Amino acid sequence: MALWSERRPSDDFHRVLAPDGSLVGDPPELGDDELKRLYRSFLQTRRLEEKLLRMQRRGEISIIARSLGEEAVALGSAAALAAGDWCFPTYRQTAARAYWGSPVDRSVASLMGAETETVNEHLPPDEEGEGVVFTPPYVPLTVNVTNAVGSAMADRFRGTDTVSLAYVGEGSTSEGDFHEALNFAGVYDAPVVTVCQNNQWAISVPAHRQTAAETFAQKADAHGVPHERVDGNDVLAMYEATKEAVKNARDGGGPAFIEAVTYRRVEHNTADEPGVYRDEEEAEYWAERDPLDRFDAYLRREGVIDDDWVEAVGADVDAEVQAGVERAREVPESDPERMFDNHLHGEPSWTARHQRAELRAEQRGENPFTDFDGSGL
């Protein structure tokens, strides 16, 4: 009987912190500053998503996908990367960006529907290039995984020791692209780590309807890619497992696959009502396994943080989120003409020039269809 036909997945996985925050394995070697940075990123992700949810309800942004209760997957794994590595996220890895200081203002402005060109003009990206390189978040599922493999192959060809990391939902492992990606990764020994964020639901479809395999980790077997199953609500275990995979890839040891077991406690996105298709009591079970509570309990017990510190950091991230949102709000509405930008290099084509002129005429309240000889408006 496959594990996925059970209500809850087996907890036969790598774990460092038990749900109550007690140690059940050897913690990774992380200094207090690094532990605090993880905690701060956790908190920033939560506060940002709470803020975004309020903005969404007010109609300021259209749709968001939250990661509440799943943050440790992206956080622990992204923290295991080093500056210069490449990261290929989907829409559910807010915490990975938070850890690497990806500016709040830019992502909020994008969610507000601004064209990327407008965002770049008013909120230029960091030019320093000191962190992990993030691609734009991928919406078409699993397209990022093959891209990450190609990115890793490029590193191998050039002899650089950079690693690429891609995220994929457990539902998305049903796509052909997923298997093509892992197959290439295996065949070319690509320095790529794929993290499967198994939150057990792909919109309304439960994990046991995605696969008859016992685990998602197992899927990597057929492609000769080493894999590990990890407690996705344990940020230290995520960090540790990814750190090892990344180091191995960096040292020429090839790809790795990590299945991070977690749970989607909230809606798929703000257009979704999970009560229609699932028993919401499950979410309570998983709330008791909250990744931040667990980490919090551990750090307090170790004397790394206390109430005062948490309160101060909370205020600090709130201010940062608020400031980011304010800057995003100040970005002017995108000029509709921006839609023509960045399609091809070089001089705009006849068609691009004429259509742009049509749009401009229409915006001025003039008839855009009066050009009958191709000379333009």
Ligand X SMILES: Cc1ncc(C[n+]2csc(CCOP(=O)(O)OP(=O)(O)O)c2C)c(N)n1
Residues annotated as catalytic are 264, 268, 277
Residue from 2, 63, 83, 139 in contact with ligand X (CB under 6 A) = 139
Number of residues counted as binding another protein (CB under 8 A): 50
Residue 205 C-beta: closest distance to ligand X, Å: 8
Q: Is 174 a binder of another protein (CB under 8 A)?
A: yes
Q: Is 374 a binder of another protein (CB under 8 A)?
A: no
215 binds, among another protein, ligand X, none (CB under 5 to 8 A by kind): none
Residue pair 100/78 in contact (Cβ under 8 Å)? The answer is yes
Residue pair 72/19 in contact (Cβ under 8 Å)? The answer is no
Residues 40-79: x where in contact with ligand X by CB under 6 A, - otherwise, as a string:
----------------------------------------
Residue 17 C-beta: closest distance to ligand X, Å: 23
CA 363 to chain centre: 37
Residues 255-294: x where in contact with ligand X by CB under 6 A, - otherwise, as a string:
---------x---x--------------------------
Residue nearest to ligand X as judged by C-beta position? 169
Number of residues counted as binding ligand X (CB under 6 A): 15
Q: What does the alpha-carbon distance between residue 164 and residue 192 come to, in Å, rounded to a whole number?
A: 5
Q: In the complex with another protein, which residue's Cβ is closer, 10 or 62?
A: 62
Please give the angle made by the CA atoms of 215, 87 and 251, to the nearest 5 degrees. Answer: 80
The helix (H) or strand (E) run that includes residue 220 is: none
* Cross-strand pairs, 259: 196, 229
Q: Is 210 a binder of another protein (CB under 8 A)?
A: yes
Q: What does the alpha-carbon distance between residue 265 and residue 287 come to, in Å, rounded to a whole number?
A: 7
Residue pair 220/283 in contact (Cβ under 8 Å)? The answer is no
Residue 66 C-beta: closest distance to ligand X, Å: 10
Q: Is 372 a binder of another protein (CB under 8 A)?
A: yes
Residue 36: which residues within 8 A CB-CB, separation 6 or more? 304, 305, 309, 313
Burial 132-146 (b: 16+ CB within 10 A, else e): bbbeebbeebbbbbb
Q: Is 166 a binder of another protein (CB under 8 A)?
A: no
What residues between 180 and 219 interact with ligand X by CB under 6 A? 197, 199, 201-203
Q: CA dist 368 to 114, 150, 336, 341, Å?
A: 25, 44, 15, 20
Residue from 35, 79, 104, 114 in contact with another protein (CB under 8 A) = 114
Residue pair 77/238 in contact (Cβ under 8 Å)? The answer is yes
Q: Is 313 a binder of another protein (CB under 8 A)?
A: no
Using the contact rule CB under 6 A, the part of the chain among 35-43, 56-64, 137-145, 309-317 near ligand X is 137-145
Please give the angle made by the CA atoms of 88, 92 and 93, to the nearest 5 degrees. Answer: 55
Q: Is 211 a binder of another protein (CB under 8 A)?
A: yes
Q: What does the alpha-carbon distance between residue 336 and residue 72 come to, in Å, rounded to a whole number?
A: 39
Interface ranges with ligand X (CB under 6 A): 92, 139-141, 169-172, 197, 199, 201-203, 264, 268
